[in-house]
Every structure is written in structure tokens, then in C-alpha cells.
Amino acid sequence: MLRMLWFHLTVALQAALTSSQWPYHQIYPPVNDTDGRTPLYFATVLSFGGSSYKSVGALPGIQIALDYINREPSILPGYSLHYTLTDSQCNRQTALSSYFSQLKNPPIKIGWVGSGCSPATEPTAELTHFYNITQLSCVSSSPDLQNRERFRYYFQLVATDVLGAHGFFGIIQHFGWRKVRLVVQDENIFTATMDDLKDMLDKNAVEYTEVRFISEETVASINAFVSSFFLLRSILSSS
């Protein structure tokens, strides 16, 4: 318990020291002070930069939903619903800093949508129950996020990516491939899918080799790609 408290204090301090670097907490839709309704706010954290994966494409759908809810007075009588927006950059540390930035800056948040991708969502989803905040994600699909013991107040709106292994195997069967090369980023959301796919390949006597690379484009990951290319070419030429 003391370790968890110390962790919270450390990350909160980091957020306070770096708050000037964060983008403005954009509010949508703008609050109408004359309609007599009480505004309610939830934090929205998506990935805009810092990664090749951009979940900001989900933002128009969120805006359409808010517009519809706020136009229908029977849905939230006497209230209007709004989000405040920040960037997770699809990064664990950035997502945590954004998390505490959202908590410490007004207005008070009643919920959380994010954090833009699975690696950024997992650390924040582990914390929300400490603050009695429900968290949803419309883009995160890691199988780990289905663990109700770790992520007590988190709810996933998309199917886990592990199910994609069946689709990959279907393509391999369709083309009759007997030798394949698996290239996967070393994140659990991807490696779990590959583990399921490898089980299917083993059961159907399909040969495979695998290379894993880390998310940063380091020399090691680039070399892995290069060696993978030449090995794949040699496999194809010998088949």
C-alpha cells in the first residue's frame, strides 16, 4: 500500500513539474452558460503524436455522440456532457503524466475515455479504481485488459486482438503456405496474438520462423528486419 502511494505521489509530482508542456485541455462541446444545465466533464486521452499509432481518429465519433446526447434533453435532464482532451502519445509514462494532469486540473472529471492505445491504457486503467473513476476505451484491444482483478473500473469496447490470429491463419490456409515468417513488435498485445497463431501453425504442420523488435527504431530492431528479409528470401528461393 505504501509503495502504491509513493508511486502515485511520484507520478503526480512529475505531472506538476511538466504541466507547462501539455497541450491545452480542450473542452468540447463549448459550455453554454445560459441554458440552465449543469455541465459534466470526462477526461479524453488519445494519441496524437510521439508514435506511429494515432488514435485521434476516434475523436469525431466521440464528438458526434456528445452532440446527440446534449441535443436530447431526456437522456441527461438538467445536465450537459463534455470532454477535456489531452495526448498520451501511445506511451506509458506520457499517459500517466496526462492522467494526473487531468485529475489535478479543473474541471472535476466524472469519467475517463482512453488512453489511446493498449500500452498507454494499461497503467492508467490500473489506477482508476483508486479514484472511483470509470474508464472506457474505444481503441485498446490488449488481452491483458480483460483481467478484472487488475482493471476493476475499466471496460473495453472492442474485441481483443488475439482473435486476429484466426484471420491470419485463414489467410495462410487459403494460399496454401507451408513456410511463413512472423515479424512482431515486442508488446504483449501483439505477442499474445502471435502465440495463438503459432499454436495453430504447429497443429497444422506449417513451418515458421519469428523475429521480434522493440517499439523504438533502434539499430537492433532495424538489423532484425534486415536479417528477416534476407532469411525470408533464402527460404522462398529454396522452396
**Number of domains, the chain:** 2
Spatial separation of the C-alpha atoms in residues 160 and 141, rounded to whole Å: 5
Instruction: Tell me: pLDDT of 38 over 60.
Output: yes
- pTM metric for this prediction: 0.69
Residue 173's pLDDT is what? 95
Q: Where are the alpha helices (DSSP H) in the chain?
A: 2-17, 59-71, 92-104, 118-125, 164-175, 188-203, 219-238
Name the residue among 160, 116, 150, 152 with its Cα closest to residue 134: 152
Question: 77 and 117: one domain?
Answer: yes
Expressed as residue numbers, the domain containing 182 is 162-238
Q: What is the 8-class DSSP label of residue 183?
A: E
Question: 153 and 183: one domain?
Answer: no
Question: 81 and 30: one domain?
Answer: yes
Residue 114's pLDDT is what? 86
Chosen domain end from 158, 182, 211: 158
Residue 156's pLDDT is what? 87
Spatial separation of the C-alpha atoms in residues 142 and 158, rounded to whole Å: 10
Question: 123 and 68: one domain?
Answer: yes
Question: 149 and 185: one domain?
Answer: no
> For residue 146, what is the enclosing H or E element?
none
Residue 228's pLDDT is what? 58
State pLDDT tens for residues 51-80: 667 788 889 999 999 999 999 989 999 999
Question: 131 and 51: one domain?
Answer: yes
Spatial separation of the C-alpha atoms in residues 38 and 79, rounded to whole Å: 5
Question: 34 and 144: one domain?
Answer: yes
What is the residue-averaged pLDDT of the chain?
81
**Cell numbers found for residue 104:** 489535478
